Amino acid sequence: MKVCKFGGTSVASAEQIQKVANIVKADSARKIIVVSAPGKRFEGDVKVTDLLIQLATTALLGQDTASALSQVVGRYASIAEELGLDSEIVSIIAADLSYRLAFSKEDPSLFFDQVKASGEDNSAKLIAAYFSSIGLTAEYINPKQAGLVVTELPKRVQALPESYNNLSTLANQQVISVFPGFFGYTHDGTLRTFDRGGSDITGSILAAAVKAELYENFTDVDCVFAANPRIVENPVEIQTMTYREMRELSYAGFAVLHDEALMPAFKESVPVCIRNTNNPQSPGTMIVAERDYSRLPVTGISADSGFSTLYVSKYLMNREIGFGRKLLQILEDEDISYEHIPSGIDNLSVIIRSHQLTPEKQNRIVDRVNNELHVDDVHFISNFSMVVLVGEGMKYTTGLAARATDAIARTGANIEMINQGSSEVSLVFGVLKEDETKILKELYNEFFVPSLVV
């Protein structure tokens, strides 16, 4: 049995959904279909999830929701009409949205989740109806009834272990299951969505639960490329990569797969294949536990912005027992996680995703570090990017860091931070945001030109 996830671009219009149906028909092993909300049909279009966020915001502000609501219903109505479905499905979707808008707004984040999740939920209902209309025996699956149970607030949303057992019964279904991505329910029945892009996670959870032979993730590119195709022209195609490599690359900018989507599949050794709905003949990129990495040391290069650094210096910091713990406790008290901690003997930097910081939080942290740790200097620097070189073969290659730093030097940019994880599967450079693109391009030239495939 195969689990297939179709992303927003794959279900953005009637034409795309017809391609999805053809892909499902072409292989009888494709029994569980996870769908996203309709995404962008063209450059500049708006994803249904973003329309829903606008709708929820309007409702929370107590403003008239009629126009925002009709935009969302309109997207589904035009898809349904083009697919030749009767208006009943559109009435079901309109009624569902009105029901969600009447939900309690006491906790705005839960209200947002209710409204956002309708994107995938209604997409699944519509696609199941379309499959049935063309003679495929298909059924919409409700994640609550199927048992996709997630953690309660204030914990980060994650599937609970029992979900896998609950969902495993889907393996016995004779019909094609159409499952909405992106959300689950807590024990008390509260709906919670995963982070943006989270339908990839749902697909992986289901693939692990039914111990699928393959998790196919259908998107709008033929494969995973060695660098973001929006930045590097015609990048090298990756045929096979390991879970670890994909995890590191999606951590910093490979938007093609959510970085939390690998663990469930990895734990059950389910291989993942990234494929193109618009070109299903293309074999795609296989993500597996091990691969031959003798040819090229670097598999891919990613880059992501939106990082800040908390810089702290104090003479003899290296001798002060408990300094690091006290500093990290201050961050924990502010509910902040960190990415890297490069350090010297008298100073250290804590790299943080900037979206976690507010001016008030920054002031409180700086005050507490000054008052409680009596440092010589503490300040925040924002606007950092991380550029990450990833490859299982890196640890067997000498001189690789020197080649990378030489390439960066050629751009004239300064390296603010270097971090090599002990697994040596990645090498991270902290750079200024304004230098990110030129560094990515130069590193790509250094390690991939003139190669054609990895």
Ligand X SMILES: Nc1ncnc2c1ncn2[C@@H]1O[C@H](COP(=O)(O)OP(=O)(O)O)[C@@H](O)[C@H]1O
Residues of the shown chain interacting with ligand X in the complex, contacts defined by CB under 6 A: 7-10, 36, 39, 197, 219-221, 224-225, 227-230, 254-256
Angle between helices 359-373 and 323-333 (to 10 degrees): 150
- Return the one option of ligand PHD, ligand X, none that residue 47 interacts with (CB less than 5 to 8 A, by type): ligand PHD
Q: Which two tokens stand for residue 112?
A: 């947002």
Binding segment for ligand PHD among 136-144, 191-199, 221-229, 329-337 (CB under 6 A)? 191-199
Q: Quick one: CA torsion of 430, 431, 437, 438, rounded to 10 degrees?
A: -120
> Per rule CB under 6 A, is residue 198 in the interface with ligand PHD?
yes
Which residue number is nearest to ligand PHD in terms of Cβ?
Answer: 8
Q: Which two tokens stand for residue 342?
A: 């490069």
> Per rule CB under 6 A, is residue 36 in the interface with ligand PHD?
yes
Side-chain-side CA neighbours of 65 within 13 Å: the count stands at: 22
Residue 113 vs 245, nearer CB to ligand X: 245
Which residue number is nearest to ligand X in terms of Cβ?
Answer: 7
> Per rule CB under 6 A, is residue 7 in the interface with ligand PHD?
yes
Binding segment for ligand PHD among 34-42, 60-68, 204-212, 315-323 (CB under 6 A)? 34-42
Binding map of ligand PHD across residues 156-185, x = CB under 6 A, - = no contact: -------------------------xx---
CA 341 vs CA 2, 234, 333, 350, 359: distances in Å? 40, 35, 18, 5, 21
Residue 154, preceding peptide bond in cis (omega within 30° of 0): yes
Residue 6 vs 76, nearer CB to ligand X: 6
Residue 87 is given by DSSP the state: T
- Return the one option of ligand PHD, ligand X, none that residue 224 interacts with (CB less than 5 to 8 A, by type): ligand X
Binding map of ligand PHD across residues 104-123, x = CB under 6 A, - = no contact: ---------------x----
- Tell the residue number behind the tokens 């599937």, with chain if given: 159
8 A C-beta contact, residue 443 and residue 389: yes
> Per rule CB under 6 A, is residue 38 in the interface with ligand PHD?
no
Q: Which two tokens stand for residue 334?
A: 């502010």
Residue from 272, 302, 265, 267 nearest 287 by CA: 272
Residues in touch with ligand PHD (CB under 6 A): 7-8, 36-37, 39, 47, 49, 119, 181-182, 196-200
